[in-house]
Amino acid sequence: MTDFTLMELGLLLGTVILSAILAGIMAGLLGVGGGIVLVPMLFWLLSFTDFPPELFMHMAVATSLATIMFTSVSSARAHNKRGAVDMSLLKLWAPAMVVGALSGGLVSRYIDAGGLKAIFGFIALLVSVNMARPKPLVLRDSLPESKIVHVAISGVTGLFSSLMGIGGGTLSVPILSAFSVEIRRAVGTASAFGVVIAVPAVIGFVVSGWGVEGRPPLSLGYVNVAAAMVILPFTVGFAPVGARIAHAVDTKWIKRVFALFLFITAIRMLLSVFG
């Protein structure tokens, strides 16, 4: 690994902690799991090392998912205490989400770093535009009746959430809002989706990254355990703070600020692929 001065190490550690705090608050506030913050941060930090660049995105995505397993539990518990988790919808979507997330983790080995960055960038760009809209896109005034439609939506959400290293909220909150689900109920239920997605996705990334050359020390497959252990106390600790904010204030302006951050991140990620 690249040699760092004590000041540089302090700066990097401070960046990790601040990003983890932001990720935890966003997990509770918007049900996004925190990965939308953690993946770019981890990718950026890995770019300062001497590890193979083709591993950066895979390691960032997998390590983000490992933290989401625990952050989502913290966030979901906080929302469930306020009655904001729709258990019937969670049970309906969970099976296909698990299959989709596990599939994403397993096939990740066959997608190069540029492909993962393009997936992250394009979807993050669409989400940022949707979040910045004064009124969210509405397709109909209720959820679909067809179980096949539910399976398709939840399976695709699990697959792409896994490949992006995010909890289900980044995709499922806009989807649920499009079907007129009340925003706090959408956020609360999405926080529980994070657990459903992250656990099988991490298993997939551990299996697909097992034995890959050039990984950092203390890695299980593509998951770096050391980085996850630094991040976890802050994401788990601050997720309930975000949940309290979500139930206490109008989140309109917070969503727009986050949409701007997400838009800039998505553009930079895409430029690194196509620029």
3-state SS, 166-179, equals: CCCHHHHHHHHHHC
Given a cut of 90, whether residue 205 has pLDDT beyond it is yes
Reference 35, options 64, 74, 55; nearest CA is: 64
pLDDT greater than 60 at residue 4: no
Beta bridge partners of 224: 219
Q: Which residues of 228-267 are buried (b: 16+ CB within 10 A; e: fewer)?
A: beebbebbbebbbbbbeebbeeebeebbeebbebbbebbe
Q: Please, which residues bridge with residue 223 across strands? A: 220
Query: In the prediction, which pLDDT does 47 show?
Result: 84
Q: Is a pLDDT exceeding 70 seen at residue 1? A: no
Is residue 163 within 8 Å of residue 104, measured between CB atoms?
Answer: yes
Distance of CA 147 to the CA centre of its chain: 26
Is the confidence at residue 217, as pLDDT, over 60?
yes
Q: In the chain, count of helices (H) and strands (E)?
A: 10, 2
Q: For residue 215, what is the DSSP state?
A: P
Sign of CA dihedral 84, 88, 93, 96: positive
- Beta-strand ranges (E) seen in 131-257 are 219-220, 223-224
Between 57 and 16, name the one with better pLDDT.
Answer: 57
Q: How confident is the model at residue 3 (pLDDT cuts 50, 70, 90)?
A: low
Strands 223-224 and 219-220, bridge-based pairing: antiparallel
Closest residue by Cα to residue 97 from 229, 12, 194, 17 = 194
The pLDDT, as a whole number, for residue 273 is 85
Confidence of residue 158 (pLDDT cuts 50, 70, 90): very high
Q: How many CA atoms lie within 13 A of 92 on its CB side?
A: 18
Q: Which SS3 state, helix, strand or coil, does residue 223 take?
A: strand
Residue 8 pLDDT exceeds 80: no
241 membership: H or E segment, kind and range: helix 225-246
Give residue 157's pLDDT band: very low, low, confident or very high (50, 70, 90).
very high
- Taking the model in full, what pTM does it have? 0.85
- pLDDT tens string 240-252: 888 888 778 776 7
Model confidence band, residue 265 (pLDDT cutoffs 50, 70, 90): confident
